[in-house]
Amino acid sequence: TNPSIFQKAISSGDGYEQQLTDLAARRVTVEEALRMITTADVRDAADILRPVFDATGGQDGRVSIEVDPRLAHNTTATVAEAKQLAWLVDRPNTLIKIPATKAGLPAITETIGRGISVNVTLIFSLERYRAVMDAYLAGLEKAKAAGLDLSRIHSVASFFVSRVDTEIDKRLDAIGTDEAKAAKGKSALANARLAYEAYEEVFSSDRWAPLDKAQANKQRPLWASTGVKDPSLKDTLYVDDLVA
């Protein structure tokens, strides 16, 4: 789930009509209405997927809910929002989605340190991905020091793929040479391969070893934005090549 998906769902069709009517009758604010609708949806989805969560030992069957995007550059507010969302949804198979902004990095550490599972979103560069993994490990170290059960804390790092090509291919087109054109559609996959290499390095490091011994879960990389944006490219390009 993310705000744009909810916006599309709520504004089209009649699936939310009764909820909206009831909320309007109570004269709640728009923000309160949105919070009640989205957390109820996520709670229901988490319940539907709970058998998968139980069957896979917590690896799958998870639902994400995003902190308010307007808080992306405010660490304290992001942590407060993450705590509130985790409390409102109150399901073990929920991930709180936090963007990988500079302010988001310490928020990830603090949220993980409190035992709240996190989906880190909007990661584009290798430098920022390494910072995200560092923030996750720091959070686990805080949780371990606080005596929390690390096996119950999960995280994924949503590393964006196709949007990297969208930006770089635009620049290659501007260059206009045959060499530049031949490089189109290749940067995103190269970036993702290097990201996976970084993941393997970090989660086999000396720093990871004591956390692994304490039954911590690796922060799994999640390939986001794998739909091809350029119609001239094969529509399964990113999925095919990432799997291979």
**What distance in Å separates the CA atoms of residue 244 and residue 236, rounded to the nearest whole number?**
12
**Total of domains in the chain:** 1
The mean per-residue pLDDT over the stretch 185-201 comes to: 96
- Domain of 50, in residue numbers: 3-243
Identify the active-site residue in 8, 97, 181, 186: 97
pTM: 0.92
The mean per-residue pLDDT over the stretch 20-24 comes to: 93
Using DSSP's 3-state secondary structure scheme, residue 127 falls into helix
pLDDT digits (tens, 9 = 90+) for 138-184: 999 999 999 999 999 999 999 999 999 999 999 999 999 999 999 99
Predicted confidence at residue 11, as pLDDT, reads 87
CATH of the domain at 42: 3.20.20.70
Predicted confidence at residue 244, as pLDDT, reads 80
* Known catalytic residue at 8: no
Compute CA distances 198 → 22, 23, 163, 221, whole Å: 49, 47, 20, 10
**What distance in Å separates the CA atoms of residue 6 and residue 3, rounded to the nearest whole number?**
5
Predicted confidence at residue 159, as pLDDT, reads 96
Could you tell me which of 87, 69, 85, 76 has the C-alpha nearest to residue 109?
A: 76
